[in-house]
Amino acid sequence: MAKVLPVVFNSAAANGPPPIWGAIIGSVVAFIAQFALFNICTCAMYDAFYRRHPGWTNVHHIIWEAAWIALSVLFVAVRVVKLTIVAALQIGRIDVPFLAEGVGDLGGFRLDRFPSIFRQDILAHEAHNHPWIE
């Protein structure tokens, strides 16, 4: 394992990292942090279905929900920044629509993947839309 990782990361540094590495590493780190925090708090506050400290358990749940709301707001803010960058790069171009394929690609890095994900979702639902059943 110690001989494989330098080869993988050195080749990735030479050719640019594949787009999946960032998602994998970020997901693993987020999962480990969430798992650790949630299990530590749950083990400290619960005994089977009995709440040892009901007040602190309620505070824990409120903090947990607030963190998810903050994550959602952060996600929206990052997408707004990405769309603003794409819009700034596409000012004056009338030959392609704003959310067309290839718009927002910077050197092999795609800023906003949601238009293509949305299109794939629409096609998946339309493929299962049988007119004779409706």
Tens-digit pLDDT profile for residues 33-77:
888 887 787 777 877 778 888 888 888 889 888 988 998 999 889
**Cα 31 → chain centroid:** 12
Lowest mean pLDDT among 21-35, 47-61, 70-84, 89-103: 89-103
In this prediction, residues 79-104 reach a mean pLDDT of 78
Torsions phi, psi of 14, nearest 5? Answer: -75, -40
Q: Per the confidence metrics, is the pTM higher than 0.75?
A: no
Mean pLDDT score across all residues of the chain: 76
Pairwise CA distance, residues 97 & 66, whole Å: 37
- CA triple 5-25-101, angle to 5 deg: 110
In this prediction, residues 65-94 reach a mean pLDDT of 85
Beta carbons of 90 and 82 less than 8 angstroms apart: no
